[in-house]
Structure formats: structure tokens, C-alpha cells
Amino acid sequence: MYSRRHAGNEAYTTVQDSKERVAGFFTKYVDGWLLGDIRYCSPQEKNLSFTVATLVLNAVDFFASLYEGKDGKGEAFSLFLSKYMPSYVAIDADIKMYKTLRCGLVHQYFPKEHHGITWNAPAEHLKKVGGCYKLNAQSLATDLEQAIAAYKSDLDRDESLQVKFARRMRSVISADDFDGLLFGDGNAGHSATVEVFHNLFSEPARTR
């Protein structure tokens, strides 16, 4: 059960008393699905550079929203990079990775402005050639794992991050969002991901 605190007139929920829920989220969703899929794709012989990069950048986007406690899009994305993936800060300042790489891959399955994603070419990672950056997919994946581990370590002991985490997760599984994601247009009628969020973070906690 979450504890309730108040900031002005706003009631918010912390995860201080809900460590099992958070542990379950990281075990099932993060390690089992999100990172599990990336780990499966990264060693493949076939060039899956765009696939891995899309997964990684979407993961950064999601964890940025947890870090900020809201869907901050590009701004939160940059803040998360600055805190947990500092080697990307200079590139992000130059080309805005959220718009150029994340949105390019998600919406057109191709980086914008001719930037490139390489496969098994770590020596080319973060290099700028002819005005365009190259990011190696496997290096991105490794850096994401390290970033998530660092964020999780901070989350375990930083109450302000716990509040933001809880606020964001509650918004993901709010009644309207939950129904919309389960049964809304474009959905096959069931979302296992949202169901996991709902089971872990809705109040009251479900009896096991």
C-alpha cells in the first residue's frame, strides 16, 4: 500500500512503502521485456541497427518520463541524458536526439538529417563524419543498461525520485488511460504491458 503525503492541495503517492511493486516492475517489465528484447537483438548477425536503436531511444524516452515524473518528451529526454548518459550531451545539444533520432526512427524508421546508426562498429560510436553523427547500436544498448542501473540505484534511496516515479506510473495506469490503452483504437483489445503496470501500481494493492 502506498503512503499518502500532501504538497499544498495536491495529494501524491510515494513508493517508499511499495518496494516490492517497484522491484516487480524492474524484474518483469524492465529486465524481462524491455532490456530482454534489446539483449536478444543486439548479438544477432543480421544488421538490426535501427531496431535496437529504436528500442533503446524509446526506453530512454520512457525512463526520462519516470525521472521527471511526467511525459516531458524532448526536454525530459535531454535531462535524462545529462544525468545518466553524459557522453551523449554534446551530440544532443547539437542535433536534439529526441527529434532527430528517436522521432525519426519511430515515425519514419530512419534517422533524420542523414545521421547514422551502425552495427557492430563500436569504433564509430559518437563520431561525426561529414557533418553527420554515427551511433553504434550495441554501444547504445550498453549505455542504456548502465543508465537504467544508475537510475534504479538513485530511485532506491531518493524520495523525490520515488514521488516522481509513482506520479508517472499512476498517470500511465489511470482509469482513462488504462481503458484507452486496453480497448482503444489501434489496440488489439489487450495490452499485457499496461496490465502489468495496473497490477503493480493501482491502488489498493491487489491481494496475492
Closest CA to 101 of 132, 131, 129: 132
For the residues 36-57, what does the mean pLDDT come to? 98
Is 204 a residue whose pLDDT tops 70?
no
pLDDT band, very low/low/confident/very high, at 134 (cuts 50, 70, 90): very high
Question: Which residues are CB-contacts of 122 (< 8 A; sequence separation ≥ 6)?
Answer: 136, 138, 139
| Residue 106 DSSP symbol | H
Identify whether the C-beta of residue 90 lies closer than 8 Å to the C-beta of residue 99: no
* Model pLDDT for residues 59-101, shown as the tens digit of each residue: 999 999 999 999 878 999 999 999 999 999 999 999 999 999 9
Closest CA to 137 of 34, 51, 53: 53
Q: What pLDDT score was predicted for residue 171?
A: 83
* Model pLDDT for residues 18-32, shown as the tens digit of each residue: 778 888 899 999 999
Q: What pLDDT score was predicted for residue 196?
A: 60
Q: Give the pTM.
A: 0.80
C-alpha–C-alpha distance, residues 68 and 93, integer Å: 19
Task: Report the alpha-carbon angle 41-46-49, nearest 5.
Answer: 60
Cis-peptide into 204, omega within 30 deg:
yes
